[in-house]
A and B are shown apart, each in its own frame.
Chain A
């Protein structure tokens, strides 16, 4: 038993070192912009860059739009399938897994072929149309995570009985979704939202190929032309992702507790 624990800790330590060393090295390198001293110069340079502010703001807005559309799409769909079409759940699970199998580059080329300026729906013909297309792309990329988060939240409550209880009290579908279902899966939705946020902030392929001014292509551009700033940017991107993960952990504590059958 004791030997097993030692082995466990050893493998954990090797894994942690493999993960932490590059991060520490990157962070250390990002602080060495001024010769002979550790400073935050690279960070100040990045933060003061108008393109950083522009691309970061753009990606944050895209992330918020993606989350809003994703929630509106996924929550009613997952709810309805759980309530009325339980036999279709495996199909939906498969469909929501497809973005993990199909590379984003294939998806975005498909988009460009379908929605180019000479197509029946020329979304790429305007900046707003392309933004919309990019947002739909992000919704697809985040679908495996958002759907699973929401479905797990729905599994924790008795969807059918709560729905019937609300119906018997006079509630219609919108009231049931807004006041009974959504508040009870809010923490699950938030978890999905934070993962979506992290995905959108770091996404490169779709934004680059649709030529939108987002944070991912900016990181790539900076990496190709500067030395210390890309390292600072990588640390910032990590901090955002980890911040999102910490928020998921934090909000999970506020999930509504299902009443016990009997005390």
Chain B
């Protein structure tokens, strides 16, 4: 494995008696895009702020480019940061905002002008039209692009994005996240992106760090996080998931309600008669039999939600409720509440929760 560019080692942060981040460890490669994903209060922003230098770790160290920066002040770290509230300087024009970091660094004016023009070009806002505008004359999306350009202009070692899309409307959020990813790839800058929106994290990250209660629950690529969640929290937080409470039967079969099915892999450390927590994504379950599915259970329709192209059906199986998605077919009426149905899935898609 190559030497990590950013290394967060055994970092802990406490405010008085409350510990908000516990033994956080992460190595980020140069040019990698890593997202911190988790609910409010999980400690993701605190870790980001410690990397930026706005918070001092209670323990541990932070290394950037081989240099220990733990004791350095924020203005000595050469880190670019984009805030949720944009934080553009209201008294400065767009060009002056972008050139602020360069001016502070004492870069000659001609070089600042050329770099500002280059940054405006990267974020696709024409310098002639936008350079002399003030922040209040821009839309939210434009302001956040300017904030991104301002953070990138001094060529920082690491780019930190603290929920930069949260204040934007849905359409702008999707287009801007794609733009952020494209600019990040183009510049090859090591980036940490904090979000509580799983779709954002899944769609643009090389790796995702899922956090809960100040601890790392799982680190992995989007595919891995979604399809092989390591903990019950990750399974529940990322995507929609059916959690099924079953019992391991005598022949290695899992008993669920009146039905039973075999697992592809025998669970470790579980004996016959022990309770088992299993998880299944709605898209892995079919109403009736589907080719390739080797497990089948009977149940009763508890609820039907018509969502347009998709119909979400909730089926009661024993004590559990199983959600599944079927495509809307105008020729076939949706199932009715109370109907007795069979559902099928592949035992290979069943996740065993820790």
Which residues of A are in contact with B by a Cβ distance under 8 Å? Answer: 157-158, 161-162, 164-172, 175, 179-180, 183-184, 186, 256-263
Contact = CB atoms under 8 A, between A and B. Distances in A.
A35 B300 CA distance: 110
A166 to B, nearest CB: 7
Contacts of A180: 89, 91
A145 to B, nearest CB: 23
Given A257-B134, A259-B135, A263-B138, A169 B104 contact: yes
Given A257-B134, A259-B136, A259-B138, A171 B75 contact: yes
Contacts of A157: 90
7 contacts: A158-B85, A161-B87, A183-B91, A256-B134, A259-B138, A262-B168, A263-B139
Interface in B306-327: none
B81 A165 contact: yes
Contacts of B104: 166, 169-171, 175
B140 interface: yes
Given A169-B104, A170-B154, A259 B81 contact: no
Contacts of B101: 169-170
Given A184-B91, A259-B143, A260-B136, A164 B100 contact: no
Contacts of A158: 85, 87
B74 A167 contact: yes
Contacts of B143: 259
Contacts of B74: 164, 167-168
B54 interface: yes
A170 B83 contact: no
What are the 10 closest A-B residue pairs judged by CB atoms, nearest first? A262-B140, A169-B101, A259-B135, A165-B87, A168-B81, A167-B74, A263-B139, A183-B91, A257-B136, A256-B90
Contact of A169 (B53, B139, B154, B160): B154
Contact of A262 (B80, B81, B89, B167): B167
B54 A164 contact: yes
A263 to B, nearest CB: 4
B268 interface: no
* Prevailing SS type, chain B contact patch: loop
A258 B79 CA distance: 25
A186 B143 CA distance: 23
A234 to B, nearest CB: 40
B54 to A, nearest CB: 6
Interface string B57-93: 0000000000000000111001111010111111100
Interface string B123-163: 00000000000111011100100010011001000001000
Contacts of B331: none
A261 B83 CA distance: 12
Nearest to B52: A168
B89 A170 contact: no
Nearest to B105: A170
Contacts of A164: 52, 54, 74, 81, 83, 87
B85 A161 contact: yes
Which residue of A157, A169, A259, A262 has the most chain B CB atoms within 10 A of its CB atom?
Answer: A169
B91, B140, B160: residue with the most chain A Cβ atoms closer than 10 Å? B91
A149 to B, nearest CB: 17
A172 B139 CA distance: 30
Residue among A158, A186, A263 facing the most chain B CB atoms (10 A cut-off): A263
A168 B52 CA distance: 7
A180 B83 CA distance: 16
Contacts of B90: 157, 184, 256-259
